[in-house]
C-alpha cells in the first residue's frame, strides 16, 4: 500500500505534460495499488476461517502452534548470544513474562499521559493500542501503578517468584521502579539502543515463516472456503528494517510473550512442561504439519518422528536432569509415551482429547493474529 500511495502522490505533485502521460500514470498508480492490496494479509478473514475449522482440522492447527511454542520462548537465548552477553549468564526464560507485562503496561501509561516523555513516539508507532487497552490486567488502563502483586495475579505465581524474575531486569536497568509508577520499562533503553536487536528480529521472522507454512497448508488442503493470500517478503538482514519498525516488533513481541504467559494459568501444564511437550513434536517434514485426517497415525505416516531426553534438553535449554524428571512426569500423566529410549507424544494430545475453552481459544487466536499483522507490516 505504501508504494501505491507514493505513485498516486507523484501524479499529484509532478507536473506532467500531455494527457497520454497523465493517463499512463493514473493507470499505473491504480495497477500498483491493487497489486499491493491483493498481497496484503486479510487478518479478519484468516481469524474467521481459523475459528470455523472443523474440530479435526483445528486440532492439526493447534498442534502446529504447540510445536512452535518452544521456538518462540526458550530458544531466544541462542541468537548470537545477545542475552548471555548482556546478563553474563543464560537467563531463565520464565522471567520474560513479568518483564513483558511491565513493558506493555508502560506503553499504555505513555499513551494515556500526554505529558509523558514518550507519548508522541508511542502515538506515532500506530500500535494496536485499542487491543492493548481492552486488557484489564494492565494497571495503567485504570490509572494504577504496576506492582509485584499485580504481576503475581496476572500469572497466578507467588509474589516472591515474581520478585526474583524482576530482579534480573531491575539489575540491568531495563526495568525501573518508582513511587509514582511502580515497576516500569526504561524507554530510553528501548528507543535509543539496539538491545537484543538480532534476537527480536529472528523470532519475528520465525513467526512469519511459521504462519506462512500454516496458511499455505490450509489453502492446499481446502481447510478453508476462501483462499488466504500471504506473501511475506523474505528479509535476511536486520539492517533492512527501519528503527521505527524494529521498535514496533519489540513491543508486539513483548505483547505476545505477556499474553501467552498469562494464558498459561489456565493450562493443566506448567511452563516447563509445555516447553518439553512442544519440543517432543519433532516433525519429519514441516510442510506436512496439517496433513492429518481421521484416525491418522502421525508416527506410522512419517509426519512425526520420536525424540529423546537429550534432544529435548538441548532444544529447551533445560538442564538434562530437570528435563528427564519432567518427561517422566508427563509419561505418568499420559501426555507423553516412551518406548525404549524414544519419546512419543500420546494419542490423547494428538487426537485433541484435552480441549481449550472457547473464549480462551478465541483470545489466543486474536492475540496471535494482531501480532502477526504488526510483524507482517514491519518486516514488509
Please check the confidence at residue 22 and state whether its pLDDT lies above 90: no
In a domain, residue 164? The reply is: no
pLDDT given at position 324: 94
The answer to whether 165 touches 154, Cβ cutoff 8 Å, is no
In a domain, residue 6? The reply is: yes
In a domain, residue 19? The reply is: yes
pTM for the model: 0.76
In a domain, residue 35? The reply is: yes
**Phi, psi values for residue 178, rounded to 5°:** -135, 160
The answer to whether 320 touches 313, Cβ cutoff 8 Å, is yes
In a domain, residue 202? The reply is: no
Lowest mean pLDDT among 117-126, 224-233, 285-294: 285-294
User: Rounded CA gap, 6 and 17, in Å?
Assistant: 19
User: In total, how many domains does the chain have?
Assistant: 1
pLDDT given at position 66: 66
Highest average pLDDT, of 59-68, 214-223, 291-300, 329-338, comes from: 329-338
In a domain, residue 266? The reply is: no
Please check the confidence at residue 2 and state whether its pLDDT lies above 60: no
The answer to whether 162 touches 148, Cβ cutoff 8 Å, is yes
In a domain, residue 30? The reply is: yes
Residue predicted with more confidence, 107 or 46? 107
Using DSSP's 3-state secondary structure scheme, residue 13 falls into helix
- Residues 210-236 as b/e (b if ≥16 CB within 10 A, e otherwise) read bbbebbebbbeeebbeeebebebeebe
Over residues 48-60, mean pLDDT? 72
Q: Which domain holds residue 23?
A: 2-39
Say which residues have a Cβ less than 8 Å from residue 325's Cβ, sequence separation at least 6: none
In a domain, residue 79? The reply is: no
Amino acid at each position: 500500500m505504501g508504494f501505491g500511495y507514493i505513485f498516486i502522490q507523484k501524479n499529484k505533485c509532478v507536473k506532467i505534460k500531455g494527457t497520454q502521460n497523465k493517463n499512463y500514470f493514473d493507470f499505473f498508480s491504480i495497477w500498483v495499488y491493487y497489486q499491493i492490496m491483493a498481497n496484503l494479509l486479510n487478518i479478519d478473514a484468516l481469524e474467521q476461517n481459523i475459528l470455523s475449522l472443523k474440530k479435526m482440522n483445528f486440532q492439526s492447527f493447534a498442534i502446529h502452534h504447540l510445536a512452535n511454542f518452544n521456538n518462540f520462548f526458550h530458544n531466544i537465548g541462542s541468537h548470537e548470544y545477545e542475552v548471555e552477553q548482556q546478563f553474563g549468564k543464560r537467563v531463565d526464560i520464565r522471567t520474560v513474562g513479568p518483564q513483558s507485562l511491565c513493558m506493555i503496561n508502560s506503553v499504555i501509561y505513555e499513551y494515556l499521559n500526554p505529558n509523558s516523555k514518550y507519548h508522541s513516539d508511542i502515538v506515532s508507532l500506530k500500535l494496536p493500542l485499542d487491543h492493548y487497552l481492552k486488557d484489564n490486567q494492565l494497571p495503567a488502563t485504570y490509572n494504577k501503578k504496576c506492582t509485584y502483586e499485580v504481576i503475581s495475579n496476572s500469572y497466578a505465581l507467588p509474589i516472591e517468584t515474581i520478585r526474583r524474575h524482576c530482579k534480573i531486569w531491575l539489575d540491568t536497568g531495563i526495568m525501573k521502579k518508582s513511587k509514582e509508577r511502580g515497576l516500569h520499562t526504561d524507554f530510553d533503553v528501548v528507543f535509543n539502543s539496539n538491545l537484543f536487536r538480532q534476537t527480536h528480529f529472528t523470532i519475528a521472522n520465525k513467526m512469519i515463516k511459521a504462519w506462512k507454512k500454516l496458511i499455505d497448508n490450509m489453502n492446499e488442503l481446502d481447510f478453508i472456503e476462501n483462499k488466504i493470500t500471504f506473501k511475506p517478503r523474505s528479509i535476511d538482514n536486520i539492517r533492512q528494517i527501519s528503527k521505527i519498525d524494529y521498535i514496533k516488533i519489540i513491543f508486539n513481541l513483548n505483547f505476545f510473550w505477556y499474553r501467552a504467559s498469562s494464558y498459561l494459568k489456565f493450562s493443566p501444564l506448567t511452563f516447563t512442561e509445555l516447553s518439553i511437550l512442544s519440543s517432543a513434536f519433532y516433525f519429519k517434514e514441516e510442510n506436512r504439519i496439517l496433513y492429518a485426517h481421521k484416525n491418522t497415525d502421525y508416527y506410522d505416516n512419517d509426519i512425526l518422528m520420536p525424540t529423546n531426553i537429550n534432544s529435548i534438553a538441548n532444544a529447551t535449554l533445560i538442564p538434562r536432569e530437570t528435563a528427564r524428571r519432567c518427561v517422566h512426569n508427563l509419561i505418568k500423566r499420559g501426555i507423553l509415551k516412551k518406548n525404549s529410549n524414544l519419546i512419543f507424544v500420546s494419542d490423547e494430545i494428538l487426537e485433541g482429547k484435552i480441549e481449550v475453552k472457547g473464549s480462551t481459544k478465541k483470545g489466543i487466536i486474536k492475540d496471535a493474529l494482531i501480532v502477526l499483522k504488526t510483524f507482517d507490516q514491519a518486516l514488509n
